[in-house]
Structure 1
């Protein structure tokens, strides 16, 4: 998902976001980093079921899971959505 920065660089970005939003819900740590529709999916895949879980309560294992998913998430595409659901990104 985040291929424009090295793993160490992403780790630094995430740690900074975690520190700045220590008491905020973990879901807010990813606003502006990944598409907002992917945030709950990434968190669920990382084993975090509560999107409102405070960043301060994330375990090292959960943080490592998030980093791994953002850098090397592999999945099988199983279909497409209609044109009305299409999304375009640039930059």
Structure 2
């Protein structure tokens, strides 16, 4: 069950990746590549600063990490916090 949730999370994150700005050096993409390769610590270190700056993709991805317990301890309140931030910034999937 956790694997299917992880698969869904990576698919959604992948879709968000292509909704990005298309900049040459994209820290969100670097984080996505790290997460896809199983290096969730590196992904977290890329996404956390972006999330703090208001990047909705990174906020949603942190929500997924806290929801699933990937690299971080599973924490529903932190997951909801980041999902709420992502929803405020236009990520429709964060409202589900």
Same fold (TM over 0.5): no
TM-score by length of 1: 0.31
TM-score by length of 2: 0.30
Larger Rg: 1
Q: Give the structure with the higher percent helix.
A: 2
